[in-house]
Amino acid sequence: MDKIDHLRREIAKRESELAHLKSQLAVAESEHGAQDESKPWPWPLQHHEYQRYGRQMIVPGFGLQAQLRLKNSRVLVVGAGGLGCPAAAYLAGAGVGVLGLVDADQVEVSNLHRQVAHSTGRVGMSKVLSAIAYLRELNPTITYKSHQEHLSAANAEAVVSQYDLVLDCTDHPTSRYLVSDACVLLGRPLVSASAFQTSGQLILLNSPPGRGPCYRCLFPRPPPPESVVGCGEGGVLGPVVGVMGVLQALQAIELIAKGGLEPAEGESEAREQRMLIFSAVADGPSFRSVRMRGRRKDCFACSDEAGLTLEHLETSVDYVQFCGVAKPVALLRPGERITAQQYREIRTAREHTLLDVREKEHFSLGSIPGAINVPISRFSRGDEMPELAAAAGKDGSIYLVCRVGNDSQVAARKLKDLGFDNGGKRFVGDISGGIQAWRETVDPSLPFL
């Protein structure tokens, strides 16, 4: 399998190099046929640039000056995933001068439904290299810079300082605070977006630098770590994250085209801070804009009394500690939990009830045969659950299972509190490691999620 993956990556790499050479040849041939090399070229853009960007330059209010500003801009995209792929594609298509991408991850099959710059043939390849291969085929005439690493407190200054504008296309609070702090300290505007399940948010921060609010102004305290749910658990619709990535590119292009990266004469006031919210459900896709607070006078990062410095950022700020780490759920004693292998022996040997507390969408994709679906959300809301009444009427044990063994403990504890264990006479417990452990040790045919 390793050899197959290696060969696939090599093929993708060679195909990308060939496509890049073909694109360069096409540009060179276009220039050679259009320009008289014996005479100085009299126009501010090259012939191929008028061809490539003409449709946007003739938009009222855009024009040549906006295109020149784009050509002279340097933009950094932090994250080459669901947000970063469409954002980078439209920035490259628009003709930014230098486009940098930061990401340490590799392409996975589960990325492909939403991360449109990657492909099946580049699974296992660096996301940055995969995205740049795609972007070069789209526009080979601009400069791409590869940063195959996670943005960290140690490298943030070295990376961010090379660019004029930053797009935060990450998906975790630790990254959001880090990117925002680096932009504040280095005086870079920041376009930040997020997407989850069927909704998304977009906001422009630190614009103009030193006047607009930063991420800490809007969110002084991070969310509780146990409330942070990633796409791997909560899911996301591909078009939703695509919409937000495109909007990030649009916001960046508008800012650059209108001279938002150029030094302002005198003090430039920050625009009214608003957050754009997108929803793909209810009566159909919709947008709304809500007013946000401005700079906080006591902000740790951007206030006049701020205690944050580049040296402090690099040596002292622990973003993981600041945002917290979700502690493993430990609501049951060891004797109230069994392994997946133990349950395999039990399930055919004795009467019992197995409750799967994953949400119905997860359950519908694959489950342990005989399991009854009672989503954890129903426990939390206190809904009536006739399935539990049926289980209460049986004499056998009650086992609970979830994705990885956290929600099942919560549900088991709730059942005990409701008296389903008959004062300790009936076993009520969960399968440690959940469906993931069942798949890994008992039934590898169960779909991988």
Which residues form the catalytic set? 231, 402
Flag whether 114 is marked binding: yes
* 67-70: long-range contacts, CB 8 A cutoff, minimum separation 24: 67/95, 68/44, 69/256, 69/257, 69/259, 69/261, 69/262, 70/94, 70/95, 70/96, 70/97, 70/253, 70/256, 70/257
Contact of 48 with 243, CB cutoff 8 Å: no
Q: Which residue type does 330 have?
A: A
Map residue 354 onto helix, strand or coil.
strand
Flag whether 313 is marked binding: no
Flag whether 255 is marked binding: no
Could you tell me the CA-to-CA distances from 73 to 59, 92, 100, 262, 270 in Å, in that order? 20, 11, 11, 10, 21
Crossing angle between the packed helical segments 47-57 and 63-71, to the nearest 10 degrees:
120
Flag whether 362 is marked binding: no
Residue in 382, 25, 368, 319 with CA at minimum distance from that of residue 153: 319
Flag whether 171 is marked binding: yes
Flag whether 304 is marked binding: no
Flag whether 291 is marked binding: no
Flag whether 113 is marked binding: yes
Flag whether 183 is marked binding: no
Flag whether 111 is marked binding: yes
Flag whether 84 is marked binding: no
Give all strands of the β-sheet with 165-168 in edge-to-edge order: 143-147, 98-102, 74-78, 165-168, 190-196, 199-205, 274-279, 286-291
Flag whether 103 is marked binding: yes
Instruction: State the binding site.
Output: 82, 103, 110-114, 127, 171-172, 214, 217, 299, 302
User: Binding site for ATP: what residues are annotated?
Assistant: 82, 103, 110-114, 127, 171-172
Binding site for Zn(2+): residue ranges? 214, 217, 299, 302
